[in-house]
Structure 1
Amino acid sequence: MTAYAIAHLRPVTMNEDILRYIETMQSTLDPFEGRFLVHGAEVEVLEGPFPGTVVVIGFPDMDRARAWYASDAYRAILPLRTDHIPAEVILVEGVPAGYDAAATAAALRGAAL
């Protein structure tokens, strides 16, 4: 099942470390079949505070997402970001093909009653 790395990056002043991180990032993703789905886009905030931007990276599965984040190549460049950009970063699994939110609600309703 597809997995996603999602980062909420706070506003920062661009610097050389951040630029090196961005330039090197794709090479850390390639061995794990990771690809950017959202990167550098303006967010349209509809509810609540949301300073900054979001990055979404897709992977074929959670194992590859975890392996990428733990990889030597990514760990080597990670401080270029973490030293300069406050962020929350998560890994999350997507839903399977044919997912039905109404069926999920029905199952939750049945479990709650």
Structure 2
Amino acid sequence: MSRAYVVGNVTIRDAEKWAQYVAEVPATLTPWGGEILLRGRQAALLAGQAPHRNLVVLSFPDLDSINRWYASAAYQALIPLRDDAATVDLAAYEA
């Protein structure tokens, strides 16, 4: 069965606001079958360039679930907090 993923590359600017955002995101994932697979900080750069030092990987049942999660009122309400706290590049992938 295929899955879909959101990969976020992150540069945190305000640790307190980021912590608040991180605490509130999981509740927005549940209705869409989403889960956090990884939150991490870069340990070493092995090749290429990586302008962001932090990474998050979310897993969803399918691309439609990602789109519904991202467009949901619950997640949309968190975007201003996210954008105040960090620079975030998000991309969706199908596997």
TM-score higher than 0.5: yes
Letter aligned with residue 86 of structure 1: T
RMSD over equivalenced CA pairs, Å: 1.5
**Residue aligned with 2:92, SS:** strand
For 1:40 and 1:22, locate their aligned partners in 2 and report how far apart those are by CA, in whole Å: 12
Q: What is the correspondence of 1:74-89 to structure 2 with a 5 Å cutoff?
A: 74-89=75-90
1:53 lines up with 2:54 in the alignment: yes
**Residue aligned with 1:49, SS:** coil
Letter aligned with residue 65 of structure 2: R
User: TM-score by structure 2 length?
Assistant: 0.87
Name the count of aligned residue pairs.
93
Question: 1:40 Cα deviation (Å)?
Answer: 2.9
Question: Which has the greater radius of gyration?
Answer: 1
For structure 1, the residue ranges without an aligned partner over 5 or more in a row are 95-113
For structure 2, the residue ranges without an aligned partner over 5 or more in a row are none
Q: What's the counterpart of residue 65 of structure 2?
A: 64
Contact 2:37 2:59 in 1 (8 A): yes
1:2 lines up with 2:3 in the alignment: yes
Q: What's the counterpart of residue 104 of structure 1?
A: none
Q: Structure 1 residue runs of 4+, over 4 Å off?
A: none
User: TM-score by structure 1 length?
Assistant: 0.75
Letter aligned with residue 87 of structure 2: P
C-alpha offsets along residues 28-71 of structure 1, whole Å, 9 cap, x if unaligned?
00001101111134443211221311100000100101100110
Identity %: 31
For 1:53 and 1:82, locate their aligned partners in 2 and report how far apart those are by CA, in whole Å: 15
**Residue aligned with 2:25, SS:** helix
Letter aligned with residue 47 of structure 2: E
The answer to which structure has the higher strand fraction is 2
For 1:84 and 1:38, locate their aligned partners in 2 and report how far apart those are by CA, in whole Å: 19
Tell me: higher relative CO, structure 1 or 2? Use CA pairs within 8 A at least 6 residues apart. 2
